[in-house]
């Protein structure tokens, strides 16, 4: 008796990507853009862009 293969999330996402290649590229691009903007905003407004002396004086 053969066991049935369970469908994993990776299989489902692969099938969705194969059916919607342009939309998948847009989703990946949007995710990368959001990560870059979030990193820029965090570094700019958190003080991590300051000098090392300023950061060490925080602690």
Sorting pLDDT into bands at 50, 70 and 90, what band is 52?
confident
Per-residue pLDDT, 42 = 87
CB atoms within 10 A of CB 27: 13
The two tokens of residue 25 are: 């590229």
Closest CA to 58 of 47, 44, 43, 49: 47
**pLDDT tens digits for range 3-48:** 778 999 999 999 999 999 999 999 999 999 999 999 998 888 887 6
pTM of the model as a whole: 0.63
């Amino acid at each position: 008796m053969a066991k049935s293969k369970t469908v994993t999330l990776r299989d489902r996402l692969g099938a969705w990507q194969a059916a919607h290649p342009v939309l998948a590229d847009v989703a990946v691009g949007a995710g990368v853009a959001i990560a870059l903007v979030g990193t820029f905003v965090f570094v700019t407004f958190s003080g991590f862009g300051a000098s090392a002396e300023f950061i060490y004086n925080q602690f």
